[in-house]
Structure formats: structure tokens, C-alpha cells
Chains A and B, each alone.
Chain A
Amino acid sequence: GAVVSQHPSRVICKSGTSVKIECRSLDFQATTMFWYRQFPKQSLMLMATSNEGSKATYEQGVEKDKFLINHASLTLSTLTVTSAHPEDSSFYICSARQKGGRTNTEAFFGQGTRLTVV
């Protein structure tokens, strides 16, 4: 299947700093990328959806000024956690869908980023 690369896999940052997480589709063009947050032993919680070249659509309750999403190209989306606090510590996962046709295609997931804010 298609490959989605997420970087970094782990990051520790100090409270108040910003952290950027990258999500790349390596062998396909991703029209749409999704960002999820996952708490321990819980399901994936969709944070936002980003379409290449347009503003991201955030889910209810997600602070768009805190979680900045940029989808500048068909192969790259970034999530920046601004002014991180310990409560932002979590596992963040991106997902990408291939471009093409009228039908939605398979969603492929990155390997996730474990963010720890100290």
C-alpha cells in the first residue's frame, strides 16, 4: 500500500514552546490529509481536515490557533502545536487520501508522533 511518513516519531519539548509535526505522502499525491489525536487506550479523535492549498477545517472543540495546520503541497501537511502545555501531551497521527477520480480512496496512516510537553 501507499506510504505516509510522519516525523518526528517522538518529541519532548518545554512548556511554552512550539512543535511542528510533518506528514508526507511518499508515493502518491494526497488531496486531503487528516490529523488525529489519540489518548491512551482510546480511539482516534479527528482534530482537523486539510485540503491542499486551502484552510484546514477543524472539528468542534479544537483550537485552530493552537493547532496550526498547513497543507502547502500534495505531499506535505504540517501540524504545529503552538505554546505547548503538558495537557497537549498525546499521540498525534496523520492520515492521507489519494487524489483522483470521483470516489474517495483508501486512507493511509502515518506512524504517529508521541509528544511529551514538560
Chain B
Amino acid sequence: EVQLVESGGGLVQPGGSLRLSCAASGFTFSSYAMSWVRQTPGKGLEWFSGISGGGSGTYYADSVKGRFTISRANSENTLYLQMDSLRAEDTAIYYCVKGSRGSYPYYFDSWGQGTLVTVSP
């Protein structure tokens, strides 16, 4: 059974940094692309970052480009998201999501339970 467990969320001040982790199990981690998707409370879903199975390809939406960095440690079955220069509009539930294959194109076939990030003074 695929399991994705996010951690690292919490309250941070504007301009601050936070690092999210996602521990994966139940599948061959290095064979699948991974993504981060966020959801503003009461609103819809936003894909904003993805990484290929081997880690060589990384992708970002314009909303986070230059501020967020996605990475993975395949030996540890862990996905990371380094978030810098955080803004109030980054407040959201952050989901770790497994891709259906190692690289583009892939749909999201498994989701973590999400971790809440709140950016506020």
C-alpha cells in the first residue's frame, strides 16, 4: 500500500523559511515522479512543483519559482520542499503527491494527508 506522510508544516512569519518533508513507502520511490500540490483553505487545488523519478528534472509554477526548491533523496524514500521568502498567500495545505510514472506526462495517483503551512506575523 502506498503511503505518503508529510511533515514540517507550521506557523512562519512573512519572509521566513520552512522545509517540508514527505516520507514515502509501499512503492519503488525512485521510479516515480513526485509533486507538491497546495490548497488554500476553502479554495481549489494548485500544482506548483514537480520532480522526475531520478531527480534530474524539476518544475515550478510561476507563483513559487525562485522561492521554492523541490528535491528528493531516493536512498531515503523522501521528498522535500524548501520554501523561502514566504508570503501570506502561501498559506495553504500542502500535499505530497505521487506521479503515475517516472517522468512527464503523469497523473497523480496517490496523495498524502497534507500539512498546513500558515504564513502570518
A, B in one complex: no
Q: Interface on B for A, CB 8 Å cutoff?
A: none
Q: Interface on A for B, CB 8 Å cutoff?
A: none
